[in-house]
Amino acid sequence: MLVPPVYRRWVTCPEPRPQAKLRLFCFHFAGGDASVFRLWARQLPAFMEVCPIELPGRATRRGEPPITRFPELLDKLASMMLPFVKQMPFAFFGHSFGGVTAFELARWLRRSGGPLPVHLFLSASPAMHIRQGPPRPLSHLSDKEFLKEVASRFGTPLEVLYSEDFRLGVLPALRTDALVGESYQYAPEPPLDVPISSFGAWQDTEVSHEEANSWRLQTTGRFQLRMFQGSHLFLSTERPRIYKAMLEDLAPQFQ
């Protein structure tokens, strides 16, 4: 994929594959960045071109002002991705709040008359329509209390969160994403005519089995729930099994 410089900041492509039949856009979890999917570009089959999304205020875009409100982020992200979703069939993969972003981006494309993804992969993401209200806000907390709450919700060891590398490299982006999440509001719309695969983890205390399973109500197409071992951030430990599940679920469209 030839990526014009203006887009290289938002839509990355670690390994361009001109002969690909499917473009997989990947959305990272809160506090993450595009490097979360670095190995995916090499390890997934040649028919897939992996395009991780890089948001402002982190990693290679650390010097840019972050966007802290979800509606603004969604509109900007959609406008920057629109040229790429028109070029070939595409799918979305999002982990944690990245899954919510992927889902809302698909609905944005439908409202705008744009092309829809051939598949949505929503990993460690709660179906927001069944949540009674937003999670407790985090953004107002001191760094110490903020990190304690993150450890409690997502199972990340405190020694990792308190490390200097984390505080300098990840904490600013994580605080930005907390603001983004707090500004998100689910609005009812008809189900998408897009197959959905929901990936959950048995030890995830942040997203219940019911919340992962309830994505089935957001599609008129095929739905598949798959449960993995691990806690909320099972993305790296279960990567080979995630690949296998994705390829199985894409098989009806890419035999």
Amino acid at 87: Q
SS3 111: helix
CA distance 42 to 15: 7
* Sign of torsion over alpha carbons 179, 181, 184, 185: negative
Active-site residue, selected from the candidate residues 35, 96, 163, 214: 96
How far is CA 122 from its chain centroid? 7
Q: Single out the residue of 108, 71, 93 nearest to residue 182, CA to CA.
A: 71
Q: Identify any residues that bridge with 121 across adjacent strands, giving them in sequence order.
A: 93, 197
SS3 151: helix
Q: Single out the residue of 102, 91, 85 nearest to residue 28, CA to CA.
A: 102
Full strand arrangement of the beta sheet holding 196-201: 48-52, 22-27, 90-95, 119-123, 196-201, 223-228
- Indicate if 96 belongs to the active site: yes
Dump strand ranges (E) for the chain: 22-27, 48-52, 90-95, 119-123, 196-201, 223-228
Q: How many CB atoms lie within 10 A of CB 25?
A: 23
SS (H, E, C) 55-88: CCCCHHHCCCCCCCCHHHHHHHHHHHHHHHHCCC
Please list the active-site residues.
96
